[in-house]
Every structure is written in C-alpha cells, then in structure tokens.
Amino acid sequence: MMIRHSPFEDALRAARLDLRPLAAGALSPLAPFLGRAAPERCATLALDLPDEGTVGAVAFAPDGVLATEVTCWIAPTYRGRGYASEGLRAALAWARDVWGRRCLTARHHEEAGAAARVLIKAGFLYTGRVEAAPCGHARWMVWLA
C-alpha cells in the first residue's frame, strides 16, 4: 500500500466505491470533513494499491474540542484485509513526523467493532466521552505521540 498526500477529491472518488445506501439520517464517513476548517488545518491522505488505485483515505480536521480528529475509510470490497490498520499507522506517523501533531482524536459508532479494533491497534485510548450520533452513539478516543 502507498500513502500519499492528496486533494480531498481523491477521497471522494474512493468514497464512490461504497455503493451501499446509508441509513436514514446517516452521513458519509468523510462528510464531517467537508468545509470544516481552513485547508492548512486539514489534510487528506489517499490509500493506494498498485494496479488498483485509491481504495481508501485517512482525513484529518479540527474536532472542535480538543485537537485534530482523524477518520479512516476503506472501500467495502477492500475491508477485512488490514488496509485500514496499515493506512492509519502510516498516516499517524506522517501526522507526527511531518505535520507535527502530538494529539489526535477519533470516534467510532458503538456498534463498529472493527473500527474500534483498528483504532486500539494504532494506539488510541478511550476518553470516556460518548455522544449521540445519527445512527446511535459515538465513542471518542485519543492518540498521543
């Protein structure tokens, strides 16, 4: 897998690979990162596979409370192969070493066990903060470099 800094449009192209309908009231996993902050406070990294192109993205944007929030998205046909873990680890190293971030937040829906495992494997810890989300509740996590 290759990770590269990319325009947000790459992530949107990858998101089109997810053809499943969203639950009523739910947002695309990348929707919270559209238009939230000045470009210098956001970053999008494309996750590319040789001969496949962009299969996912990792996006960073201010969380409005503590730090910078990160989200990772992989097209459904590529899930379950470790690409989210690999891409997130590389993106966290980039955020720390190139972008200078020392604290990042993330959240996942309570029912999203795979997302929780990816975040925990990357070193995120639960903060205890739980908030209402369009499809249930979201649990917040923090990562410290």
Instruction: Read off the CATH number of the domain in which 126 is found.
Output: 3.40.630.30
pLDDT of residue 13: 56
User: Structural domain tally of the chain?
Assistant: 1
pLDDT of residue 89: 94
Q: With a threshold of 0.85, does the pTM exceed it?
A: no
pLDDT of residue 106: 92
**Structural domain harbouring 69:** 2-144
Q: What share of the chain is helix, strand, coil (3-state, %, to 5)?
A: 30, 35, 35
pLDDT of residue 73: 85
pLDDT of residue 47: 85
pLDDT of residue 83: 93
Contacts by 6-10 with C-beta closer than 8 Å and gap 24+? 6/44, 6/45, 6/46, 6/54, 6/57, 7/44, 8/33, 8/34, 8/42, 8/44, 8/59, 10/44, 10/46, 10/54, 10/57
pLDDT of residue 54: 82
Residue ranges of the chain whose pLDDT lies below 50? 19-29, 31-37
pLDDT of residue 28: 46
Residues sharing a CB contact under 8 Å with residue 47, sequence separation 6 or more, in sequence order: 1, 2, 3, 14, 54, 55, 56, 57, 58, 74, 83, 87
